[in-house]
Amino acid sequence: MKMHKWLLVLLLTWAAGFSVPASAQTGSEATSTVEFSSQAQTASSPEMADVMRRDGKIYIVVAVLVSILLGVLFYLISLDKKIGRLERELRQ
């Protein structure tokens, strides 16, 4: 049961880290905006992501990544249950 709590804390910490935008500037510098020309903006944006988003393939990539992460999480939980069962058997 302890492992479940640690995995939940780790997952929530990871999710919180990606949901909050990182800001290294403080004070009045943080409120300033940077404007890009259209040429500089297109040069810095990844073409592959735009193509995959336009074709709808980005959702397949996200689905595969989520299924892999869920599989690893399921494996860790089942492994924790098996180890806990073996520890209880050794104590008796």
Contact 73, 14 (CB under 8 A): no
The answer to pTM > 0.75 is no
- Per residue in 7-66, pLDDT (tens digit) is 777 777 777 766 655 555 555 555 555 555 555 555 566 787 788 778 888 888 889 999
Q: Which two tokens stand for residue 81?
A: 């249950």
Contact 80, 4 (CB under 8 A): yes
Q: How confident is the model at residue 89 (pLDDT cuts 50, 70, 90)?
A: very high
Plot region of 56 (φ>0 → left; ψ -120 to 50 → alpha; else → beta): left
- Per residue in 50-63, pLDDT (tens digit) is 887 788 888 888 89
